[in-house]
Amino acid sequence: MLATPNRLRTSTDFSTTVRSGVRNGRRNLVLYTAPIGAEEPSRIGFIVSKAVGNAVTRNLVKRRLREVGALSLHTHGTGLAVVVRALPAAAHASWEQLLSDYNAALAVTTKRLGGSAPRNASPDHNGTTTEGTPRA
């Protein structure tokens, strides 16, 4: 389970990460990664649409992806916003397949981000969005 500080919660956070982040697709998922403040805890969000399957299947995929995301926080605990979009193939994927796809996609996106430092927010907004969450 992801702790509250490690969750993407608002649609603004999701759309900012998807639009400005680095994208990498795999057979079972698409991963978007964007830098946030270096001292900020990494945050992860999940998109699992009805195309993946019925409610039982979607929840199973979400639980597996949440656990994979929680494991990745050990190595990438700060500085990243990650959105994971499950593809329909994820419904039939094993835990190992989801884990390897996630880890491979995260490795590629963090490599592409390289040394890109988080952008400085304008001082009049004090580094937060209107919802009060830090800017990406």
Tell me if 33 is assigned to some domain: yes
* pLDDT value for 126: 44
Has residue 103 been placed in a domain? yes
Whether 10 maps to a domain, the answer reads yes
pLDDT digits (tens, 9 = 90+) for 29-71: 999 999 998 888 999 999 999 999 999 999 999 999 999 999 9
What is the DSSP track for 23-70? EEE-SSEEEEEEE--TTSBPEEEEE--GGG-SHHHHHHHHHHHHHHHH
82: nearest Cα among 48, 100, 105, 54: 105
- Asked if residue 93 belongs to a domain, the reply is yes
Q: Residue 94 sits in which domain range?
A: 4-114
What is the gyration radius of the CA atoms in the chain, in angstroms? 15
Share of the chain above pLDDT 90, in %: 68
Whether residue 85 has pLDDT greater than 60: yes
Return the pLDDT at 124: 40
Among 41, 61, 43, 42, CA closest to 51: 61
Domain membership flag for residue 127: no
The pLDDT value given to residue 121? 36
Residue 45 belongs to some domain of the structure: yes
What rounded mean pLDDT belongs to the chain?
85
CATH of the domain at 32: 3.30.230.10
Per-residue pLDDT at 125: 41
119 falls within a domain: no
